[in-house]
A and B are shown apart, each in its own frame.
Chain A
Amino acid sequence: MGLLSLLRKLRKSEREARILVLGLDNSGKTTILKKLADEDITHIMPTQGFNIQSVVHDGFKLNVWDVGGQKSIRPYWRNYYDNTDVLIYVVDSADTTRLEEVNKELSELLAEEKLAGVPLLVFANKQDLMGALSAADISTGLNLEAISGRSWSIQACSAKRGDGLEAGMGWAVERVRAKDASA
């Protein structure tokens, strides 16, 4: 991957889309990324910077950027906003104590000028855990219904088992295609 590959991933070419994956620390962003690329997910450490995976889905090359979610790194998320085609926000559905923090971070993110109009996919992750809230509960908790000016969707998933990831990425590709068609 080297610096040159990073530059190549910054380019916008046809049939390629840039997907930005954000969310609080320990929400499972890197696990989702690795699972999408069919890589080992047994030893994942907190991300101190970022990871990139290129996933081919339905004829589209998705360059998926996963940026560390720790509080100290969150101010740097905006480094990665440019040219984003789809924003994926990952929520730990089992950690109900942090839903308020999620709510605050997500509303700040949606107010970012550079992300205006960018489609939003919320992954209600960790559905494999006991006590995980359903996608509907998360949607209510985050007041997603009130979102305007962008298309959005919420998808229940378990990155660990792989459930729901395909469906979510399918929605993301659909949004990219819709944007290309209208461009």
Chain B
Amino acid sequence: MRLKRFLLRYFPPGIILEYEKRDGSTHMKEINLMELTAESSPGAIADQIIRTEPLVSPARRPQLMRLLGRLCTQLEQYRTADFSLSKILRAHVLPLTNCAFNKNGDRFVTGSYDRTCKVWDTDSGAELHTLEGHSNVVYCVAFNNPFGDKVVTGSFDKTAKVWSASTGECLHTYRGHRTEIVCASFDPNGSTIATGSMDHTAMLWDVETGAALHTLAGHTAEIVTLDFNQTGRQIITGSFDNTVRVWDVRSGACVHTLKGHLGEVSAASFNFEGTTCISGSIDRTCKIWDVASGQCIGTLRGHTDEVLDVAFNPQGTKIVTGSADGTARVFSTATKACTAILVGHSSEISKVAFSPQGHKVLTASSDKTARLWDPEEAKALQVLEGHTDEIFSCAFNYSGDAIITGSKDNTCRIWRCA
């Protein structure tokens, strides 16, 4: 075995070893550096990698140090930079639903009650395409990241559609759900799409052929959230039946039913490594689950009203929860302790997200503002003001210097780092 080269992954930080086997075939091995911070000593980490990783010889130490230095620099980017309003996009004629960036961050999509999805240029704010064809609300939208050449839309018209992001052409229409589709996602390989519906099922579809692969049946109430793990081999679905289910994508079999919540599940998400997942619930808690065993390994309490959204930081070391009580809370994944309470919104928080670097938290609220917080110091950093009605959705781009917010006021706003 011979190391060919190092590849870098910024968020979460990691070094990927590309190596050659004796038979000449090329392989990849990921070294995740979830604990890396600006205070980390590159020398100590390099030494540890050389000690534990036979592919990396001591001669590589200087190169490794440089790469670790670059990762640390990336983690510190935009820490002190402020966001300001860059563009107001008024092309939708009815309220927006969800929005999403491609991985480059140069394009994003918005769904709307006006039955369209629009593709936008982040820098200019230009409307590149209007994806028309759904006969009811376009509720969920997603890119096939990391590729970014396709968009999936899920609609209240019971269908999902796949579109070319470059031409706006509809490539496939997926029919099979009996009621509204409310969540949709590509797997990270871009070959499979999952859709979740108010008809209590999720379905898996082949992106190329447009064929239905599996119906994930078992939930006894509406499915409102789903998430693929990074390999695309497993998917979790969260339901109004109070449970989360883990499914095997290849066979469509239910691997685990995660039971324990006393109210509807509102959001669910894998950590980057796919080893644990979290779920937020109307029962005012967030639960942490071990994916392999299906056991609940922690219950995060403290909110005095429904938990409406949950998110890991990219490293998976922290969790943020947003609640109808108007606060967000930050927890340590390892200790399950609440490390920060983010107080300031005057009404419910419906969406939460960490920045890709993990040093900022973004919250969107029905008080018409989005806010940025320092999760370490529990400090309010910025109020993104301007929307004239509640904010339904928000997202960071991958590099962490742009934010989009979608609102009931029919507009989408782009906020950029100075």
Contacts and interface: CB of A to CB of B under 8 A. Distances in A.
Interface in A57-82: 72-73, 76, 78-79, 82
Nearest to B264: A8
A149 interface: no
B182 to A, nearest CB: 6
Contact of B348 (A2, A10, A79): A2
Contacts of A11: 198, 222, 240
B114 interface: yes
Contacts of B94: 48-50, 73, 76
Contact of B97 (A3, A73, A78, A82): A3
Contacts of B98: 3
Given A3-B97, A8-B264, 9 more contacts: A2-B348, A2-B350, A2-B392, A3-B392, A8-B240, A11-B222, A49-B409, A78-B136, A82-B156
A79 B111 CA distance: 14
B240 A2 contact: no
Contact of A49 (B182, B240, B350, B410): B410
Interface in A37-52: 48-50
A10 B198 contact: yes
A140 B113 CA distance: 35
A79 B93 contact: no
A2 B351 CA distance: 9
Contacts of A4: 224, 266, 308, 350
Contacts of B366: 1-2
A49 B93 CA distance: 8
Sort A-B residue pairs by CB-CB distance and give the 6 closest, nearest first.
A2-B350, A49-B95, A3-B392, A49-B94, A79-B136, A4-B266
A7 interface: yes
Contacts of B115: 76, 79
Contacts of B137: 79
Contacts of A2: 308, 348, 350-351, 366, 390, 392
Given A8-B264, A49-B95, A76 B222 contact: no
Contacts of A48: 94-95, 409-410
Interface in B364-418: 366, 389-390, 392-393, 408-410
B180 interface: yes
20 contacts: A1-B348, A1-B366, A2-B390, A2-B392, A3-B97, A3-B350, A4-B224, A4-B266, A10-B180, A11-B240, A48-B95, A48-B409, A49-B95, A49-B408, A50-B94, A50-B113, A72-B93, A79-B136, A79-B137, A79-B156
Interface in B78-107: 93-95, 97-98
Interface in B264-289: 264, 266
A49 B392 contact: no
B93, B222, B390, B393 pick with most chain A CB within 10 angstroms: B93
Interface of B: 93-95, 97-98, 113-115, 136-137, 139, 156, 180, 182, 198, 222, 224, 240, 264, 266, 308, 348, 350-351, 366, 389-390, 392-393, 408-410
A72 B393 CA distance: 25
A73 B92 CA distance: 11
Contacts of B264: 8
B222 A7 contact: yes
- By size class, the interface of chain A is 10 to 19
Nearest to B222: A11
A48 B393 CA distance: 18
B182 A7 contact: yes
A49 B266 contact: no
Interface in A69-101: 72-73, 76, 78-79, 82
A30 B348 CA distance: 22
Given A3-B392, A4-B350, A76 B224 contact: no
Contacts of A76: 93-94, 113-115
A50 B97 CA distance: 13
A10 B389 CA distance: 21
Q: Which of B94, B114, B137, B351 has the most CB of A within 10 A?
A: B94
A2 B324 CA distance: 9
Nearest to B135: A78
B379 to A, nearest CB: 25
A76 B97 CA distance: 15
A49 B406 CA distance: 14
A8 B324 CA distance: 14
Contacts of A8: 240, 264
Interface string A1-22: 1111001101100000000000
Nearest to B95: A49
A142 B240 CA distance: 43
A153 B230 CA distance: 57
